[in-house]
Amino acid sequence: MDYEKGKDWHDPRIVPYGPLALSPAALVLHYGQEVFEGLKAYRGVDGGIYMFRPQANLERMNRSNKRLCIPELPVQETLEHLFELVKTEHEWVPTLEGTSLYIRPTVIATEACLGVKVSSKYLYFVIMGPVGAYYPEGFNPVRIYVEENYVRASVGGVGEAKTMGNYAASLLAAEEAHAKGFTQVLWLDACDRKSIEEVGTMNMFFVIDGEVITSPLHGSILPGITRDSVLTMCRHWDLNVSERKLTIDEVLEAQAAGKLEEAFGTGTAAVISPVGSIHYRGTDYTVADGQTGPLSHKLYDELTGIQLGKRPDPFGWVVKVK
Ligand code: PMP
């Protein structure tokens, strides 16, 4: 689908996968005016094809678009186009338990211009591909590395938008952490360098002395749809839930006192990713017994159960596409 100033969004079409024709001067290539989303379609237990909260992804996309001066998409129409595309390509939705079709809606600035400005032309496109099970051999708790040299985003910046620049800025830290044997970088607040933000592609949750804690949406972390779903479910189960600032010191003090019960990441790819240990200033701190905690298990089973139509969907999150 294209956008041109004065013409709004127009010409939705499904075309075979292939290279894009772009001017080397396209604004996206130089000034990063881009927004993307990531969501999945699942083969339900009844053989039908389901999507999980797709409207929430498009609404987040529009909030990101606003921040990047990209014209907002018509949510209902764009949603219908997504359903149409998934229906057309339904054979690509894999059938094996745990597998899914990953969907990547993207919008880029296409006007050719070397001056820094807001583009007058955009292309919205969607690519898709089947993905395997994230946990083919069961949960695998990850080791995370607390990053102190680099920051991912700061309040007032573009950290709460899903845009390419955030990921480019995080690559070096991730490379360095991987070289040291860690799976994920845990980002701290750019100002206080103490408060926990999020990891590479997931929001973070900690369970300390019965309190389920996640960072508030204060403008520099991505408002994850899995984060929101987890908060909703925990509140539904009457757990003690807080969206509040949590420092790395508080987490490690709780660990020392035996009160750090669980830590896990939330995101579309893994759904729930248990954290086995946290590395901070040269020391590894094991989270509880280093294994997957009971809340992580329960959330994973409940969320994937809802996504696959195995469990009731009390929040109306699942949409049947076909
Ligand atoms: N934070 C970042 C930086 C991410 O890229 C993602 C993945 N989209 C998340 C958090 C989790 O968001 P969601 O639950 O919507 O996948």
Q: Is residue 83 part of a domain?
A: yes
Assess if residue 109 is contained within a domain.
Answer: yes
Positive or negative CA dihedral for 197, 198, 203, 204? negative
Q: 198-231, pLDDT tens digit by residue?
A: 999 999 999 999 999 999 999 999 999 999 999 9
Q: Give residue-wise pLDDT tens across range 296-306.
A: 999 999 999 99
Q: How confident is the model at residue 272 (pLDDT cuts 50, 70, 90)?
A: very high
Residue 316 placed within a domain: no
Residues 147 and 127 in one domain: no
CATH of the domain at 273: 3.20.10.10
Same domain, 92 and 153: no
Cα-to-centroid distance, 227 and ligand 1 (Å): 8
* Residue 5 CA, ligand 1 centroid: distance in Å: 31
Q: Which of 131, 158, 183 is the last residue of a domain?
A: 131
> Using 50, 70 and 90 to split pLDDT, how confident is the model at 138?
confident
Same-domain status, 106 and 245: no
Q: Which of 111, 131, 151 is the last residue of a domain?
A: 131
For residue 52, how far is its CA from the centre of ligand 1 (angstroms)? 14
Does residue 36 sit within a domain? yes
Pair (115, 47) in one structural domain: yes
Q: Residue 83's pLDDT band (boundaries 50, 70, 90)?
A: very high
Q: Is residue 136 part of a domain?
A: no
Whose C-alpha lies nearest to ligand 1, atom 4? 201
Q: Are residues 19 and 88 in the same domain?
A: yes
Same domain assignment for residues 116 and 42: yes
- Nearest Cα to 278, choosing from 255, 246, 247? 255
Ligand 1 cavity residues, CB under 6 Å: 38, 198, 201-203, 222, 224-227, 266-268
Domain-located, residue 315: no
Residue 134 clears pLDDT 90, i.e. is over it: no
pLDDT above 90 for 136: no
Pocket test for ligand 1, best of 222, 229, 231, 272 (most atoms within 8 A of CB): 222
Residue 201 lies in a domain: yes
Mean of pLDDT values over 139-150 = 94
pLDDT at 50 over 80: yes
- Quick one: 314 exposed, middle or buried, by C-beta within 10 A (0-12, 13-18, 19+)? exposed
User: What band does 64 get if pLDDT is binned at 50, 70 and 90?
Assistant: very high
Q: What is the pLDDT of residue 247?
A: 98
Q: How far is the CA of 7 from the centre of ligand 1 (A)?
A: 32
Judged against a pLDDT cut of 90, whether residue 239 lies above it is answered with yes
- Do residues 153 and 267 both lie within one domain? yes
**In which domain, by residue range, is 89 found?**
2-131
Domain count, the chain: 2
Residue having the nearest C-alpha atom to atom 9 of ligand 1: 202
**CA of residue 113 to ligand 1 center, whole Å:** 31
- Tell me how far apart the alpha carbons of residues 182 and 196 are, in angstroms, rounded to a whole number: 17
Q: Place 140 in a pLDDT band, splitting at 50, 70 and 90.
A: confident
Do 153 and 284 fall into the same domain?
A: yes
Task: Give distance in angstroms: CA of 23 to centre of ligand 1.
Answer: 30
Instruction: Examine the fold and report which residue of 86, 110, 131 is the final residue of a domain before the chain moves on.
Output: 131
Residue in 55, 201, 220, 266 to alter for ligand 1 test, most ligand atoms within 8 A of Cβ: 201
The two tokens of residue 63 are 């909030």
Same domain flag for 34 and 75: yes
Query: Average pLDDT for residues 145-172, to the nearest whole number?
Result: 96
Distances (CA, A) of 236 to 110, 204, 314: 44, 19, 10
**Alpha carbons 62 and 56: distance in angstroms, whole number:** 10
Q: Are 99 and 132 in contact (CB under 8 A)?
A: yes
The answer on pLDDT for 137 being more than 80 is no
ipTM associated with this complex:
0.99
> What CA–CA distance (Å, rounded) separates 313 from 53?
11
* DSSP helix/strand/coil, 88: helix
Confidence of residue 71 (pLDDT cuts 50, 70, 90): very high
